[in-house]
Amino acid sequence: MSKSPDPDTHQPDHEPDWAEVHGSAEFVELRRRLRRFVFPMTAIFLVWYLVYVLLADYAHGFMATKLVGDINVGLVLGLLQFVSTFVITSLYVRYADRKLDPLATGIRERVEAGEAK
């Protein structure tokens, strides 16, 4: 028994030429914009994490420095690792909303309409 197509999901009547889509100026620009954010942000986060690990391993005195009560520098820097993850996530969401999603939506609409450029 064959299922009838779901009217809420649009399936193109043809198979898109994915090589043409991937080679299009819009798709190349989308990849460039994504890499422009992801590579530098990844490098910054990895350096930040490496500094934290190196400090934890080689700067015991500094990391044990008390700030307030039993809270020391190591604990604060460790918690800042989590904070930086949330900051990077929010920056990415904002960047994607402004720079990536409009371009990706245009590409998707052209593919679904059967246009390739």
Return the pLDDT at 2: 47
* 70 to 24, 45, 53, 82, 103: CA distances (angstroms): 57, 27, 21, 20, 50
In a domain, 58, yes or no: yes
25-68 pLDDT tens trace? 999 999 999 999 999 999 999 999 999 999 999 999 999 999 99
Query: How far apart are the C-alpha atoms of 34 and 42, rounded to whole Å?
Result: 12
89 occurs within a structural domain:
yes
Q: Establish if 101 belongs to a structural domain.
A: yes
Classify residue 10: in a domain, yes or no.
no
Q: Please check whether residue 62 lies inside any domain of the structure.
A: yes
Q: Is residue 102 part of a domain?
A: yes
Total structural domains within the chain: 1
Q: What's this model's pTM, rounded to 2 decimal places?
A: 0.75
User: What is the distance between the alpha carbons of residues 90 and 32, in angstroms, rounded to a whole number?
Assistant: 20
For the segment 68-85, what is each residue's pLDDT rounded down to a tens digit? 999 999 999 999 999 999
pLDDT at 9: 58
Q: Could you tell me the CA-to-CA distances from 48 to 45, 64, 75, 92 in Å, in that order?
A: 5, 19, 15, 18
Domain containing 35 equals 18-113
- The answer to whether position 13 is within a domain reads no
Residue 25, domain member (yes or no): yes
Place of tokens 């043409």: 20
